[in-house]
Amino acid sequence: MRKVELKKYRQGISRAICAAAFFGGLVSTQAAVVIEGTRIVYNESQREVNVKLGNVDEKVATLVQIWIDEDNIDATASSSGVPFILNPPLAKIGPGKKQQVRMVYIGENENLKQEKLYWFNMLEVPPKSNEPSSLSFAVRTRVKLFFRPKAMNGMVPNAPETTVWRWTSTKEPFEIEAHNTSLFHMSMPSVFLEGTASPIELSRGTMIAPNERVKFKVEGLSVPPDSAMKIRHSSLNDFGAEMFFTKNISLTK
């Protein structure tokens, strides 16, 4: 997901909520249905993958629509055009109940050699309120779906270990580049530069695609870079657990 698109989406929801509040309506935006897990991994060798949904509302049934998009936040269930079948694509989940969604890959001849990112979408349609002045909003949840082709069978995710960090500017403005040389995506909730008077935050929430290079501006560094400075970052594994890594930074361009 592009940061700009996510920002626009959130801004749109925020503006709608603020407008409703301004005009005196009651606003309900809390999601009743949750997706089990923060990410989905689909290996092409698997026949199918099941995603579990749960309705945490103990009183009201909730209708949800489910679809997958190819990193396009504007895609809808009818326009996404991805090589997956979901069953069911629409479900009414009873109070406190769970629903299993079956996902089947139907792509052919894609000849993929590295991990590909899709997004699993769930749109929750709120029940009609009995309050005459209330407003309810459909809540959309997106989680990452990592598809791994057969060419990657047996490979272990190794992006944090193999990513190369280097200084691309050793003079102000200072800059560091991360090159993900692996076939996997790397999701980093936090990135810090250490070995300075105090740790310098470089990023809070960055994902680097396979073979992608991302540059980080270093603000607040008062001395030239040296070999004692290192990158300290976290990375999410297949289960969404946060792992921490310390990496050297090359001074050679």
Domain-embedded: residue 16:
no
**pLDDT tens-digit readout, 161-194:** 999 999 999 999 999 999 999 999 999 999 999 9
Q: Do residues 104 and 168 both lie within one domain?
A: no
Note the pLDDT tens digit of each residue in 75-133: 888 888 899 999 999 999 999 999 999 999 999 867 899 999 999 999 998 777 677 76
Q: Which domain holds residue 238?
A: 159-248
Residues 189 and 143 in one domain: no
pLDDT digits (tens, 9 = 90+) for 193-244: 999 999 999 999 999 999 999 999 999 999 999 999 999 999 999 999 999 9
Residue 66 placed within a domain: yes
Over residues 31-89, the pLDDT tens digits come to: 799 999 999 999 999 999 999 999 999 999 999 999 999 989 998 888 888 999 999 99
Answer whether residue 221 is part of any domain.
Answer: yes
**169: CATH:** 2.60.40.10
Cβ contact 182:221 at 8 Å: no
Note the pTM of the prediction, 2 decimals.
0.84
Q: Do 69 and 139 fall within a single domain?
A: yes
**Domain presence at residue 94:** yes
What local confidence, expressed as pLDDT, does residue 30 receive? 67
pLDDT band for 8, please (50, 70, 90 cuts): very low
Check residue 253 and give its pLDDT: 67
Number of domains composing the chain: 2
